[in-house]
Amino acid sequence: MTERSDFYIRKNYLEQTHSALSDKSLQSIADTKAEHTIDAYESDWNDFCDWCAFHHEKPLPAPPETIINYINDLADYATVATIRRRVSAISENYHAAGLSAENPCKDWMVREALIGLSRQKGVAQKGKTPIYWEEIEKMVSLMDSTKLTDVRDKAILLLGFMGAFRRSEIAELDVEDLRFFSQGMVVTITHSKTDQTSAGQQVGIPYIEDTNLCAVTAVRNWLRRADLHSGALFRRILKSGQPGSGHISDKSINLIIKKYVSLIGLDPELYGAHSLRHGFATSAALSGLEERIIMKQTRHRSVEMVRRYINEGDLFVNNPVAMMFSRRKNTRS
């Protein structure tokens, strides 16, 4: 039976099957996928292999029926987006193994099964609930400025919201990625989901009048209190009360958000690190900002997701219920 280690996307299979390619050519083809994309594909492939081992099936080669049975079991707890990503990972690994002709994911039955699952589960996926600015204010009000953990968490919350950052982007920041100016701070994202060529993306975070809610002030305060001059920006706090040496994990970012959401009386199951990014975009839309202005901060390549945030904001802008009761109030006064 095929082992989980038979993940050909990471292996240099081209060197074995295309001996005419130079080393430089092999490397350029190997670099077509970002490292985090390969990591995600490997995780998906391993999940498929584990399922196959449990059901005494072969993952490679596998008939279309195996793929269909796998994704139907997966549908019991996974979203349509996750299912499609798993199928994509399996398909990519077949290509990498030189088995494109035998790729079961290209079979018509698998395509039909995906369509059927999409209709059953619904294609509109539920993302994390957005955290609005008013909720950020409540969270900050509960923080103790004498505790180093709270100083760090405040910087994470405010920077995550105002920069519309993904949790991996927050977790991977280094002190060297920050530059301070009289107007505020420029954050350079060296690795991002939408920047797979590692060209780097810069995000401006201006000072705001309320220093207690200013992300730039919060980050500078964290740097001073933790005595950080280089290396990982956000770190775990050791039992000694001192910051560790390595980056905080992106999962820890998620847990921090859930902690403060819970403290202000919201259901932590509905929120996560993406709630900061979602919250910024929706709040910006509520403020009437144009798509291109929002995309400048969120760094979305497509307007599709930004328009979804704008549509969410529009639900309360010029809302007939709000307008009706506002007019009733004005009439009475």
Q: Residue 241 — φ and ψ, nearest 5°?
A: 90, 0
The catalytically annotated residue of 8, 260, 271, 309 is 309
Quick one: how many helices (H) and strands (E) in the chain? 15, 3
Instruction: Report the C-alpha gap between 78 and 229 in whole angstroms.
Output: 42
Whether 308 is catalytic is no
110 close to 67: Cβ distance less than 8 angstroms: yes
Whether 224 is catalytic is no
Provide the 3-class DSSP secondary structure of residue 232. Answer: strand
252 close to 171: Cβ distance less than 8 angstroms: yes
The catalytically annotated residue of 128, 167, 277, 299 is 277
Whether 8 is catalytic is no
The catalytically annotated residue of 166, 247, 258, 299 is 166
Instruction: Report the C-alpha gap between 151 and 148 in whole angstroms.
Output: 5
- Number of alpha carbons in the 13 Å side-chain half-sphere of residue 89: 25
Q: Residue 35 is encoded by which pair of tokens?
A: 């490292």
The catalytically annotated residue of 86, 128, 154, 300 is 300
The catalytically annotated residue of 193, 236, 296, 308 is 193
Instruction: Report the C-alpha gap between 301 and 246 in whole angstroms.
Output: 31
- Contacting residues for 41 by C-beta, under 8 A, at least 6 apart: 7, 9, 33, 88, 89, 92, 93
104 close to 67: Cβ distance less than 8 angstroms: yes
Rg (CA), the chain: 24
Largest Cα span, the chain: 84
The catalytically annotated residue of 154, 247, 258, 274 is 274
Q: Report the candidate in 87, 7, 104 with the shortest Cα–Cα distance to residue 46.
A: 7
Q: Report the candidate in 262, 230, 256 with the shortest Cα–Cα distance to residue 243.
A: 230
Whether 166 is catalytic is yes
Whether 95 is catalytic is no
Active site residues: 166, 193, 274, 277, 300, 309
